[in-house]
Amino acid sequence: MTDPTTPPAAPPTPAAGTTPADRLRDTLALVLVLAGAALVVMAYTGNSRLATQPIVLAKGQSAFSLWMHNYYLEFAGYGAIALGVLVGVVSYVVHARRVRRSQPRGAGQA
């Protein structure tokens, strides 16, 4: 029987089981998403500049090659964003499994 004067134990917080590896994965996910967004913005501004400003080309270069460069840059940005989201989801799953494993069976059930 429990003592009525002692408060019940608080459930573990999600940050209680955070390891340096979790923080590294979260940082990697954030960096990938931000870098991908930066690539997409660079590609958008590059193509916008091609469409609205006079085009100055180097010898042997075409406007189409500049557009294709920005096109591939945009796809690389979307890929980095998708990879960052994937890393974030994997980090969440790994952390949730660790927290679930650390809780005793039947904890949190009424």
Range of the domain at 67: 23-101
Q: Is residue 51 part of a domain?
A: yes
Q: Is 17 within 8 Å of 102 (Cβ atoms)? A: yes
Could you tell me the pLDDT band of residue 108, with boundaries at 50, 70 and 90?
Answer: low
Q: Is residue 110 part of a domain?
A: no
Q: Is residue 18 part of a domain?
A: no
pTM over 0.85: no
Structural domains in the chain (count): 1
Question: How far is the C-alpha of 100 from the C-alpha of 107, rounded, in Å?
Answer: 10
Q: Is residue 32 part of a domain?
A: yes
- Per residue in 51-76, pLDDT (tens digit) is 898 888 888 888 899 999 999 999 99
Q: Is residue 35 part of a domain?
A: yes
Closest to 80 in 3D by CA, of 48, 47, 41: 41
- Per residue in 3-17, pLDDT (tens digit) is 667 776 666 555 566
